[in-house]
Amino acid sequence: MSTYRKIHGRSIQAVTTDPSESVSEGQVWYNTTSDTFKSVVSIEAWSSTSPLTQKRVDASGFGTQTANVCATGNIPPRTGVTEEYNGTGWGTGGTASQAGQYRSGFGTLTAGAVAGARTPAPASSNATEHYNGTSWTSGGNLPASIYLPGNQAAGTQTAGLAFGGDTGPGSSFPTASYEYDGSSWSSGGSTNTARSYGAGSGSQTAAFFACGTTPPFSVDNASVAFEQYNGSSWTSGPNLNTARISTAAGGDTTAGLVFGGEISGPAKTDKLETWDGTSWTLSPATLGTARLGTGRALGTGSNTANIASGGYTTTPVATTEEYNKSASLITAGAWASGGNLNNARNSIAGCGLQTASLCAGGDSPAPAYDTYVEEYNGTSWSEVTDIPTNNRGAGMAGIQTAAVYFGGETNPQTPVSAALLYDGTNWTSTGAMPYNSNYAGVGGTGTQTAALGVGGYVKPPHTNAVIEFDGSTWSTNPNSYPTAVGALGHCGTQTSALLVGGFEYPPASQLATSNTYDGSSFSAAPNLIYSHAVAASSGTQTDAIVGTGQTAPLPNDSNQAQGYDGTSWATRPNLSVTRRYSASGKNSAPASAAWIAGGYMVSPAANTNSTEEFTGETTAVNVKTLTQA
């Protein structure tokens, strides 16, 4: 009789705690603490992640889940904008020469291509463009002008395949397929069924073509057809379970998947089907947002790690979701509601950790500036000793038990230079700032004994002054900030800071610039994805998150967030509340554990007491308890 050891090559071990590291799927152990047998079980699920920077439908998607491209599409209008995904968020890439939708994508982030297009005029295109991870260049033209909705393509930049498609509105659906060698296209085998608005994936010699509509174009003509290509000819069957159009696909002829799209009704679907090389199975893992016309990850292996970017519900969306099938449970980064402030207000100063936060001052309904101070323990806010004078828009640095509070303005709109120290119980006066700064804010980051403040609004102009605090006195750095600016976002320390966005006046505009500071001078960093003023910021010079605030053009408020990894900016999950003039943790709160509290909402026009907390992506072994029958 076979034993577990003979089958798996190991015996069942007895342990006091479950393993936290990655272990093999199906491995069994006995937990002596809980007196149970346990195992690791594979799980498949979609999870929300950071949105695209621009809403769009019918984009070209190619690459892998952690190095992905979403290019072109229809916002509207049709666009050539390219975005790149690093597994956490989307950043801006090069712009394709031809703005269009229904451009089929294939290849990788650093060696990709798109072919065909539906353009404003003419209705269809034969253009091919290559992408190198930075910019686009022209490739060989298709033999026919065509648009290829649903990403009807497979392969790599030097061994690509395009099939099916539509020659134009009201025109025919060809059965031709074309093979690409990196410079020119040649004819391949013809598909067995004329279809368009389907989806494909795989390689030039092992591709599949699923679903779509047969002529004439209509969701009522949606198909369950499935064909496989071996490099010379197409073979039909077996069919999928659900007929759909404008869907997306991943994987290859041995293991694939099809997800999303439009079904008869018409209705958007959240359904996923998986392919094991023999048959199609409806998966219990459904998209969080049912939609059509999404981007996707392409090629071998992406049947276990895919992505759905953008698409259309009742309007184009920026929504992005990741699909994972593994023995690990992946929880994407997200914002969640925390305890509410006791006093709703805006223009608040803040510092500290997500589980040990501090907020001071602010602005209740005009003209009532505040003296409120509250502490947060990760669950609820408690009122503690007030600041001596009402104040809004001040800077703050440090932690909950050792903070410095400086600048701002008292009521009625009187700029101040005063600075206060907090020891976790009481406030005491300390050396005044070198200048008066009002509610447009001097910001602030660092510690109580090594604080940094940059810019601010010194009536009447903004300033580019840089001030530093040593725990008792302030000094001015002769190397000023590149721009006179108020409401600048601060992250990091006094000698390793990141300064972002801000509000320039005149002219009245939000900035998209970011700069690093080494304690002496500034260096330009990459521009933000979204221009931001009066935003909330947390993290370090190389790991920061910035969210909410005002985005261009005025007077837009935002619930968007973006993150910086020391090299580039990329999107992060949106917050629930659109607001500006909120408090945040600055350098005390790492980007993976940031918090934002309070602020002003435009709709409805009111201050908010809402707190939101960010948790970065986590991965854990999917452990299940085994039961006896």
- Coil, helix or strand for 190? coil
Domain assignment present for residue 338? The answer is no
* Residues 268 and 175 grouped into a single domain: yes
* Residues 268 and 372 grouped into a single domain: no
Measure the CA–CA gap between 316 and 54, rounded to whole angstroms.
9
Sheet holding 497-500, edge to edge: 489-492, 497-500, 514-517, 522-525
Which residue range is the domain that position 32 belongs to?
4-40
Q: Pick from 331, 358, 389: which residue ends a domain? A: 331
- Coil, helix or strand for 6? helix
* Residues 20 and 50 grouped into a single domain: no
pTM value is: 0.91
Q: Pick from 270, 297, 331: which residue ends a domain? A: 331
* Residues 270 and 246 grouped into a single domain: yes
**Number of structural domains in the chain:** 3
- Residues 6 or more apart whose Cβ sits within 8 Å of residue 93: 69, 71, 82, 83, 84, 131, 133, 134
Q: Pick from 331, 366, 382: which residue ends a domain? A: 331
pLDDT averaged per 10 residues, the chain (length 629): 54 81 74 84 91 96 96 94 97 95 95 92 88 98 89 95 87 92 98 95 97 93 97 97 96 96 95 97 97 91 92 97 89 95 96 97 84 98 97 95 96 90 98 86 93 90 94 96 94 97 88 97 97 93 95 83 97 96 91 96 93 92 76
- The pLDDT tens digits for 559-609 are 999 999 999 999 999 999 999 999 999 988 889 999 999 999 988 999 999
* Residues 310 and 373 grouped into a single domain: no
The beta strands (E) that lie in 86-176 are given as 90-92, 104-107, 112-117, 125-131, 136-138, 153-156, 159-163
* Residues 271 and 401 grouped into a single domain: no
- The pLDDT tens digits for 492-520 are 999 999 999 999 988 888 999 999 999 99
